[in-house]
Amino acid sequence: MSSFNLGDVIYVKDKMQQDYAYQLVEPCGKNFAPDFMSELTPVEMLKLGVFEGKYLNDCQNEFPSSWFVEARLSDVPDLSQNCFSVKSRLPLSEWKKHGWILEPDPRGWFQWYCRYYLGRRLPEIDAIQIKRWRSFKRHRAQVVKNCFIGDLTCRPRQRQALLQWAYNPFF
């Protein structure tokens, strides 16, 4: 993390975004909004396996290399890279169609979360994304209601989705 410090400006240039820059105004992993208590870090999510291993692959230079040491990545979407080995996401085209992609994060919520965790703050966007994160918790209630404690084979798609929204799916 030594190469990412408070006050640094991060310059983005990848397949989906170029000529974008942001400043780190908070220390990495610190000073989150009081109503945002993610249960997993981006590192933990990438290590467990999210988005079929095909997420952030072309923009790893934007984030600390330590985030990717144990990440489950793939050159092509691969369900076996997901923690629960199931598909649990919609294509980016659906996200765009529904208006869920907010600038300046063309890859969606997880990209926002990685940048937020790293220390970027955009008050208006942050408020929207945190509200979306909070509303996703309803999926946890569905798993709790319909599964025995510890039965990780119950509702694997919802568990994978919870993981992809920084909720701990192991309960």
Predicted local distance difference test score (pLDDT) of residue 105 = 97
Rounded Cα distance between 167 and 169, Å, is 6
Q: What is the pTM of this model?
A: 0.95
Predicted local distance difference test score (pLDDT) of residue 2 = 53
Rounded Cα distance between 93 and 96, Å, is 5
pLDDT higher than 90, residue 163:
yes
Closest CA to 129 of 110, 148, 143, 157: 110
| Look-up of token digits 């869920």 | 100
Instruction: Please say whether the beta carbons of 4 and 24 come within 8 A.
Output: yes
Structure tokens at 102: 């907010």
Amino acid at 151: D
pLDDT higher than 90, residue 1:
no
